[in-house]
Amino acid sequence: MRLLVCLLLVSLALSCYQANALVCPALASEITGFLFLSDNLLKLQVAKFIPPPEALAAKLQVKHCTDQIPSRDRLLIEKALVISFSFMQRQN
């Protein structure tokens, strides 16, 4: 049984070695907007998704909590969430 699991893991590693880990620009914009935009601008950014009012209220409530984080720490959070792993892509 152990040998079968090892062979399965090796075969998966060899066949699935390449992945595109680039962050979608729309997602990066959403994360940045959530961390740094004002409430009114965030409402405009989220309006394209037509969220229910209670979902928008919940998002704004969480945003008010994240607004208490110092700006330099929010920059670190943004950098961690919007990191690009393009250096890990295999060159052909």
Q: What is the DSSP string of 21-66?
A: -PPPHHHHHHHHHHHHS-HHHHHHHHHTT---HHHHHHHHHHHHHH
- Express as a percent the part of the chain with pLDDT over 70: 74
How does the average pLDDT of the chain come out, rounded? 81
Query: pLDDT tens for residues 6-49?
Result: 777 777 666 665 555 667 788 888 889 999 999 999 999 999 99
Using alpha carbons only, give the angle 43, 84, 13 rounded to the nearest 5 degrees. 125
**Tokens describing residue 80:** 């961690």
Q: What are phi and psi of 48, to 5 degrees?
A: -65, -20
Is pTM beyond 0.95 here?
A: no
Q: Tell me: domain 19-88, CATH 3.30.70, correct?
A: no
